[in-house]
């Protein structure tokens, strides 16, 4: 297998300044670090414990919110002043978010980033995430007795560009320089990788947290981690199981009308955790004077079944994407608090019965521990670890007729840089609009636009002559930089793509599915559009020719050329590719001798000129 090594910049970090490894979780966030001179990462502990609930509480008449355990405690009594699961909102527009979390979501417009309203004030998810990061930074500084300014932050592998960018921005707002955004399963495998040594292994990382699910397949060799494939859902986690239990209780006791959804969900979570630890003791708690809420392990499994099924489908996908079958996997690694529900390990062990299903490292902490190792690598303290990742969707630009021209195919390893050459379609064209898209469909209309820019100042030349090189570079954080350069003149323009809003993972999956279902139609449509483009170019060239050189043609020749042009123009919008191609051919037949004749005339005129 080919290996790519990444040149890890050592930077100008002072060795004494610790770099934090941060797991910015939907439900819980954690900080880990590698103490100076040591190799093994540690979780940072504060008086509140190791986990910091990713919850914010905005008390009345107080400018700054409380973050963490105290905010979590306020969830039940004052849900309208609490904000949780911010990570699910990161980089998303209002239309992407359907769930009700007890706080108010505000949409300024369909495509704008969603905002949260608390007490008449508006907060965007980047700001809210930054407040969580600030709290983690504060705790770390308290523990170290010195300031910290640098961190590695993890995100689900399935986070798209805008979600990664949003995470990076949140770090910046919190006063942290984000040295790298690392995929959570990659971080987890780093934490495990230490124990594995130099052996070559293929690992499946199953990460089910509070609000996100990720499955990744990684190849480990000589300290190099290569992500072969990833699949997942940024809107699936333990919260959903809690909700399912709460809904079942609501139905069972006709509690639909009550305004106690959050309390019910908290009780559901407690029931789930208790049964996960001790399946034999059924859960029971008084909801009010009349209603006792009960749950036993068998019912929990029944409620959890569809929820687990969704994750098995992602496992299938990830295997298919990496062209592997179960027996190719050497080890399964469990990550995320929800994998403490024993059914998950049990069913995975049944399916992967030839290998180990590993949960040796605490599943809540393994991601932060891996982030701390990566932080240590970036701090220049170790050079034995390399990371490779892949892109989840294809990236490309729009070409004539709304066609998607892929520059970086999906599942390409990153970082990567790829370039392609394009040209103009009209004589004297001095500007070229470059629109960047993400997706698998042949037409950009079905894909997602990431941004656009204009390359201006192209020297006026006949159509087809300018050489415009468009390069796509994805850095190690998964962020895309697009640049365009006219090679003859050296004119250059570039953008860092910072999309307006993100896609949910089910949308990513939906797009993949659609691209497969529509593959045949899309291909036919593409071929038609290409024929139409060709026809338009020939019509354009012929008309220019008639304007310039009519004096060298006979009336009859002009007449037949015009006639063929009209025929071709008439077919342009009819959608019959074969007739279009035949008509192009017919026009070509008429005009072919003209070019030669004009050439002869030009040559003889040039010779005449010479004689003078
Ligand atoms: P995230 O990565 O989304 O921040 P975590 O990995 O911290 O989440 O996992 C949090 C989720 O784990 C919550 O939904 C919580 O209910 C669930 N969880 C924690 N402990 C247990 C347990 N013992 N049994 C079942 N679920 C658990
Ligand atoms: Mg997590």
pLDDT in tens, 438-465: 888 888 988 888 778 888 888 888 888 8
Structure tokens of 98? Answer: 């359907």
Query: Is the pLDDT assigned to residue 612 strictly greater than 50?
Result: no
> How far does Cα 525 stand from its chain's mean position?
27
Q: Which helix (H) or strand (E) holds 283?
A: strand 283-286
- Cα of 528 vs centre of ligand 1, distance in Å, is 51
Active site annotation includes 280: no
Q: Among residues 296, 64, 315, which one has the least CA distance to residue 205? A: 315
Q: Among residues 299, 304, 314, which one has the least CA distance to residue 346? A: 304
Enumerate domains of the chain plus CATH numbers. 19-388 (3.30.420.40), 395-517 (2.60.34.10), 520-607 (1.20.1270.10)
CA 526/CA 588 separation, integer angstroms: 22
Q: From the candidates 87, 150, 272, 485, which is the catalytic residue? A: 87
- Backbone CA torsion sign across 304, 305, 310, 315: positive
Query: Is the pLDDT assigned to residue 340 strictly greater than 80?
Result: yes
Q: From the candidates 161, 169, 184, 440, which is the catalytic residue? A: 184
CA 244/CA 306 separation, integer angstroms: 10
Instruction: Decide whether any atom of ligand 1 lies within 6 Å of the 211 Cβ.
Output: yes
Task: Give, for ligand 1, the residue of 245, 295, 338, 367 to mutate: max count of ligand atoms closer than 8 Å to Cβ.
Answer: 338
Query: Is the pLDDT assigned to residue 245 strictly greater than 70?
Result: yes
- Cα of 361 vs centre of ligand 2, distance in Å, is 14
pLDDT for position 596: 76
- Give 531's pLDDT tier (boundaries 50, 70, 90): confident
> How far does Cα 311 stand from its chain's mean position?
18
Whether the CB-CB separation of 589 and 557 falls below 8 Å is answered with: no
Q: From the candidates 124, 161, 169, 207, which is the catalytic residue? A: 207
Burial class (CB in 10 A: 0-12, 13-18, 19+), 273: middle
Beta bridge partners of 437: 396, 449
CA 114/CA 132 separation, integer angstroms: 18
Quick count: other Cβ atoms within 10 Å of Cβ 399? 16
pLDDT for position 406: 93
pLDDT in tens, 485-519: 999 888 888 776 643 334 444 555 565 556 556 66
Q: What angle do CA 557, 558, 560 make, to 5 degrees?
A: 65
- Cα of 28 vs centre of ligand 2, distance in Å, is 7
pLDDT in tens, 290-318: 999 999 999 999 999 999 999 999 999 99
Instruction: Decide whether any atom of ligand 1 lies within 6 Å of the 392 Cβ.
Output: no
Which residue has the least CA distance to atom 12 on ligand 1? 337
Active site annotation includes 184: yes
Distance in angstroms between the alpha carbons of the first and the last residue of the chain: 68
Q: Among residues 152, 317, 157, 312, which one has the least CA distance to residue 234? A: 157
pLDDT in tens, 216-244: 998 877 666 677 888 888 778 998 999 99
**pTM, whole model, 2 decimals?**
0.66
Query: Is the pLDDT assigned to residue 6 strictly greater than 80?
Result: no
Active site annotation includes 23: yes
pLDDT in tens, 367-384: 999 999 989 988 878 766
Whether the CB-CB separation of 428 and 436 falls below 8 Å is answered with: no
Query: Is the pLDDT assigned to residue 610 strictly greater than 50?
Result: no
- Cα of 88 vs centre of ligand 2, distance in Å, is 12
Active site annotation includes 207: yes
CA 448/CA 445 separation, integer angstroms: 8
């Amino acid at each position: 297998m080919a290996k790519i090594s990444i040149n890890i910049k050592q930077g100008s970090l002072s060795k004494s300044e610790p770099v934090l490894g941060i797991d910015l979780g939907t439900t819980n966030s954690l900080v880990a670090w590698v103490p100076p001179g040591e190799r093994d990462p540690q979780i940072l502990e504060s008086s509140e414990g190791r986990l910091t609930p990713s919850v914010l509480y905005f008390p009345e008449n107080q400018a700054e919110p409380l973050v963490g355990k105290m905010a979590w405690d306020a969830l039940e009594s004052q849900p309208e002043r609490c904000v949780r699961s911010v990570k699910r909102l990161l980089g998303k527009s209002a239309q992407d978010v359907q769930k009700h979390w007890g706080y108010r979501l505000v949409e300024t417009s369909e495509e704008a980033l969603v905002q949260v309203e608390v007490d008449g004030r508006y907060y965007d998810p980047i700001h809210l995430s930054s407040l969580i990061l600030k709290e983690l930074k504060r705790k770390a500084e308290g523990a170290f007795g010195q300031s910290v300014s640098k961190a590695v932050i993890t995100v689900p592998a399935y986070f798209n560009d805008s979600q990664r960018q949003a995470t990076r921005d949140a770090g910046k707002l919190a006063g942290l320089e984000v040295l790298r955004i690392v995929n959570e399963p990659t971080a987890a495998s780093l934490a495990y990788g230490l124990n594995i040594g130099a052996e070559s292994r293929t690992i499946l990382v199953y990460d089910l947290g509070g609000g996100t699910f990720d499955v990744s397949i990684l190849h480990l060799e000589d300290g190099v981690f290569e992500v072969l494939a990833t699949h997942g859902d940024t809107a699936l986690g333990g919260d959903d199981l809690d909700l399912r239990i709460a809904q079942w209780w609501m139905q069972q006791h006709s509690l639909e009308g009550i305004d106690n959804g959050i309390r019910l969900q908290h009780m559901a979570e407690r029931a789930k955790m208790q049964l996960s630890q001790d399946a034999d003791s059924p859960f029971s708690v008084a909801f009010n004077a009349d209603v006792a809420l009960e749950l036993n392990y068998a019912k929990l499994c029944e409620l959890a079944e569809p929820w687990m099924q969704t994750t098995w489908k992602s496992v299938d996908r990830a295997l298919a994407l990496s062209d592997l079958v179960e027996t190719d996997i050497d080890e399964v690694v469990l990550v995320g608090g929800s994998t403490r529900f024993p059914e998950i390990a049990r069913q995975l062990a049944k399916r992967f019965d030839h290998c180990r299903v590993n949960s040796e490292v605490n599943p809540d902490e393994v991601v932060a521990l891996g982030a701390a190792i990566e932080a240590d690598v970036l701090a220049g303290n170790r050079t034995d670890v390399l990371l490779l990742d892949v892109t989840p969707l294809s990236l490309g630009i729009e070409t004539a007729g709304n066609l998607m021209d892929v520059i970086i195919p999906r599942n390409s390893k990153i970082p990567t840089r790829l370039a392609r050459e394009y040209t103009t379609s009209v004589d004297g064209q001095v500007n070229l609009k470059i629109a960047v898209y993400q997706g698998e469909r042949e037409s950009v209309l079905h894909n997602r636009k990431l941004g656009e820019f204009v390359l201006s100042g192209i020297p006026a030349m006949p159509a087809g002559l300018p050489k415009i090189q468009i390069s796509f570079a994805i850095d190690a954080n998964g962020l895309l930089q697009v640049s365009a350069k006219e090679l003859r003149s050296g004119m250059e323009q570039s953008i860092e793509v910072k999309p307006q809003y993100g896609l949910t993972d089910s949308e990513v999956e939906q797009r993949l599915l659609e691209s497969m279902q529509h593959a045949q139609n899309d291909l036919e449509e593409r071929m038609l559009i290409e024929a139409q483009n060709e026809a338009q170019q020939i019509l354009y060239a012929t008309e220019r020719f008639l304007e310039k050189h009519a004096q060298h043609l006979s009336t009859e020749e002009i007449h037949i050329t015009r006639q063929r042009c009209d025929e071709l123009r008439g077919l342009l919008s009819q959608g019959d590719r074969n007739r279009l191609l035949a008509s192009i051919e017919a026009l070509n037949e008429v005009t072919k001798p003209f070019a030669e004749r004009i050439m002869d005339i030009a040559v003889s005129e040039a010779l005449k000129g010479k004689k003078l």
